[in-house]
Chain A
């Protein structure tokens, strides 16, 4: 019912009629799941707000949208022995619908469960699609191999005819250039530099420079979750993170870690995700016990550790890791006078104009505005928000040949806004959004941590 309607209707919107039916027996619907999603399905009052937020539904009217994928599919499953609708694979796991729902229906959790069931039960393990998805989801394994011979990998990966072949045989779009592998991974650099011991020393020096009381501080400790991309492809982002935190007097630790799991959730590979999650939770919760907080430089990684782990897994320490995980800028804003530090700082050279795109997974954590807000007062740069559209690549999504057009159609709005913005450099926290921004506009893309390093850490 709408209030736009019916002046003589002295009722209230349906959503206010809160007479919940409370006595229910939970019914297991997605049998593999450990989760009872009944209450989530029950609180959906079909307002369709989630559907208006779904970037895939906006450009593809074949996609039934989040309301269908979540609560409706859940109900269908309950009534009959129906299969999961294959359209679940067209969801990009941007998680925008989660944030939109006024009734707190756990949409992305329902999607993750349904997708895992679909892949387990309905997708052929011999299909090219399955293996392609599996390889994409397990990017880290390929990256590990590729990074052993970075120059060769880069050359092969960007060889035109080979890419065409990749599309034909393996369903990887030939339209995109593969991200380059760094010649030295972040972890190699970190070991070379002396690991945690060096970090401890540098942090102490920084504390001493800043004077007095903090010199003995034992609580300025952070454990860095660098994820795969910053390790293999953009170590400069990871190095910036280390230097900025040391500048504020933090001792950084870099424990052994696997993939955060985001690409695996998005491809319904929950078992793969579970293996890596177990390693991550165990290694990071040990450090939390020693007083460390967990810092991520990729917003999909922080999203995963904070929200998806507790939604999907029950390892000991999962809740602890979630409660102690932060995005890098966010952490500094909470614990340091970052605004004050930036007020006094400037970036050298000519004024730089940056077109900032907030990744969906930053938006979901309430972090979509912080970079613009922070850098607004920094001398020497201008930061312009290019609007609230999704970039469209959504991790592995935009790499699939059959999804490429959808991915670019979603991104179109962002490309246009970037083209309208002053300057020809972009900025974002998400490595795949960065790929899409670059792909769609040819701009060079930076990470906010790199800008922070420029502004605060004198060489």
Chain B
């Protein structure tokens, strides 16, 4: 067989990318296979470690202090504090100065598009002038026809949360757009290219001219996170110099440009680490070793034909219900590739809580690993010697409620990747 590696990582999200880079750093020859674009494009680009305890206490000022109280089986409990720190350290190295927050173990508070404040561990540099702990007054600017951000409403809500500054909102028409429903990427691209409005005056200048009329002595101005895709630093620097004020981005819902930019950076880092990457085709099954309980190959579906990929060690980082690493239908919940055990109540009505924001059992569905992240069966026995799981495919935590999604992916991804690499 021709496609053969030391380590094969399945899934190209935050967990898979981190696993592949960690494994490559042990000297292993690594391939990453992913079917679709990762959920990074949906995520805000904020890297949360732990914002709330599983019991809903928070926002937490220090996520690390809360780690030791997590219940048995929680991914952080499985890998331990060192792995959480190692995951963040790897992330800091990959993103360099495009992210901030690594100067402290404490959570930062970031204003969100809806005018609330969210605790997070790492945030894009483009967001940093917007911190809620900053005392400078802020003007929030929305763009007409960009759905999802109402600057006045956000500002009013923000003031109501008791932030130590005053926020005001304003909306301006974005130049050069004719569509009634322009895509976020279109805003970003017009700013990237700074195309001419009138001779000599580009979009960046024109936007700031329109914003200036609304300013009332504020030292910082917040925009929805559409300020450039390929050249965000340059766009922001230009806006700052035209406005004479600090400029920050407010994280937005999907599709998210900070998420897209992070995705680009991760894939560059994969390239630099020498990881072989294939995206576009799903893994659909596996073959076991003829002896022992190991995985010999996984089967990749290439638009109709099935191709085996061999490796010594495998990492499963296929995401949760959104990423399609865990699937559910009326009869049950499963991990579709290896059929790893996923504990779930047999009665479907126990998967949900009646209250929409209640404690939904399904949010914690996922595989249940040992401390080396090897999935275990219903009796606690390791399912395969050479398979580890990382990221949202793991169970026993609720990333949306705890605000722990990216932190778990980084901690478990780097841990699983390192162990996989060391075992080749």
Q: Are A58 and B186 in contact (CB under 8 A)?
A: yes
Cβ-defined contact, A65 with B357, below 8 A = no
Closest to B276 in A: A373
Q: Are B117 and A7 in contact (CB under 8 A)?
A: yes
B260 within 8 A of A: yes
- With A51-B183, A339-B2: A7-B403 Cβ-Cβ less than 8 Å: yes
A65 close to B36 (CB less than 8 A): no
Q: Are A3 and B303 in contact (CB under 8 A)?
A: no
Q: Which residues of A contact B414 (CB under 8 A)?
A: none
In the complex, whether A121 has a CB less than 8 A from a CB of chain B is no
Residue among A16, A65, A366, A413 with most chain B CB within 10 A:
A366
The answer for the CA separation of A49 and B260 in the assembled complex, in Å, is: 10
Q: Are B56 and A10 touching (Cβ within 8 A)?
A: yes
> B226-268, CB under 8 A of A: which get 1 and which 0?
0000100000000000000000000111111000100000000
Given A58-B183, A61-B182, A366-B281, the answer on whether A3 and B56 have CB atoms closer than 8 Å is no
Q: Is B210 an interface position by the 8 A CB rule?
A: no
Q: Which of A156-164, A253-261, A319-327 lies on the face that meets chain B? A: A319-327
In the complex the two chains form, is B253's CB within 8 Å of A1's CB?
Answer: yes
Determine which of B37, B46, B186, B307 lies in contact with A49 in the assembled complex, contact meaning CB atoms within 8 Å.
Answer: B37
Q: Is B321 a contact partner of A18 (Cβ separation < 8 A)?
A: yes
**Is A420's CB within 8 Å of the partner chain B?**
no
| Other-chain residue from B3, B113, B302 in contact with A4 (beta carbon distance below 8 A) | B113
- B108-123 CB mask vs A (1 if < 8 Å, else 0) is 0000111011110000
A291 lies within 8 A of chain B by Cβ: no
- The chain A residue sitting closest to B280, CB to CB, is A366
The contact size tier of chain A is 35 or more
In the complex the two chains form, is B112's CB within 8 Å of A322's CB?
A: no
Shortest distance between the CB of B117 and any CB in chain A (Å): 7
Contact A369 B118 (CB under 8 A): no
Q: Is A382 in the interface zone, CB < 8 Å from B? A: no
Q: Is residue A79 contacting chain B, with contact meaning CB distance below 8 A?
A: no
Is A100 within 8 A of B37, CB to CB? Answer: yes
Min Cβ gap B77→A in Å is: 21
Which of B19-27, B84-92, B173-181, B215-223 participates in binding chain A? B173-181
Known: A48-B255, A368-B279. A6 touches B356 (CB 8 A): no
Residues of chain A from 40 to 58 with CB closer than 8 A to chain B in the complex? 47-49, 51-54, 57-58
Q: Does A138 contact B (CB under 8 A)?
A: no
Among A4, A59, A334, point to the contact of B307 (Cβ < 8 A): A334
Shortest CB-to-CB span from B84 to chain A, Å, is: 20
Question: Shortest 5 CB-CB distances between A and B: which pairs?
Answer: A2-B253, A366-B280, A4-B44, A61-B179, A366-B281
What are 22 contact pairs spanning A and B, CB under 8 A? A2-B112, A3-B400, A4-B46, A4-B118, A5-B118, A7-B52, A10-B358, A10-B359, A12-B400, A16-B320, A16-B363, A49-B37, A49-B41, A49-B255, A58-B185, A61-B179, A61-B183, A62-B179, A307-B304, A334-B307, A364-B280, A366-B281
Measuring CB to CB, which residues of chain B are less than 8 angstroms from any residue of chain A? 2-3, 36-37, 39, 41-44, 46, 51-52, 56, 58-59, 112-114, 116-119, 148, 177-179, 181-186, 189, 230, 251-256, 260, 276-281, 302-305, 307, 320-324, 328, 356-360, 362-363, 398-401, 403, 405
